[in-house]
Amino acid sequence: MNKALKNPLIGAAIGAVVILGSTHNIAVNAQVFPQIQTPQPTTITPYKASPYNYNNSEFNYNNSPYNYNNSPYNYNNSPYNYNSPNRIYDNSGNAKGYTTQTPSGVTNYFDFDGNRLGYQPAQ
């Protein structure tokens, strides 16, 4: 091969390796050093509001639909009692359930089937 032709080919080959090699290194560096994610703030639920607090637990009889005060069979909680003061409504004005309050002050939210939807801890 001609010496004048040989040197440009070698130079081109070395240049291609350097360019491809540097591209490969950038990809490897991106995998080794991923973009740092900023941590999201976490909220800590105080024990007074926690579902693990027995006063708020669904296993507490005062919060259970088996307690007559919370039962949908109690006329005050019945979907057929349209004058009930403890009914809850959706944004369209449709009755969706009822609320009850325990002796400890926890407010429970139930649907008309007696399923506990949530609670508000005692103040």
- Residue 106, domain member (yes or no): yes
- Residue 4, domain member (yes or no): no
- Residue 92, domain member (yes or no): yes
| Domain count for the chain | 1
Structural domain range at position 109: 47-120
Q: Percent of the chain having pLDDT more than 90?
A: 47
- Residue 8, domain member (yes or no): no
- Residue 99, domain member (yes or no): yes
What SS3 string covers the chain? CCHHHHHHHHHHHHHHHHHHHHHHHHHHHHHHCCCCCCCCCCCCCCHHHCCCCCCCCCCCHHHCCCCHHHCCCCHHHCCCCCCCCCEEECCCCCEEEEEEECCCCCEEEEECCCCEEEEECCC
* Structure confidence by residue, pLDDT tens digits, 24-79: 444 444 455 455 566 666 778 888 888 889 998 889 999 998 999 999 999 999 99
- Residue 107, domain member (yes or no): yes
pLDDT over 70 (residue 15): no
- Residue 62, domain member (yes or no): yes
pLDDT over 90 (residue 91): yes
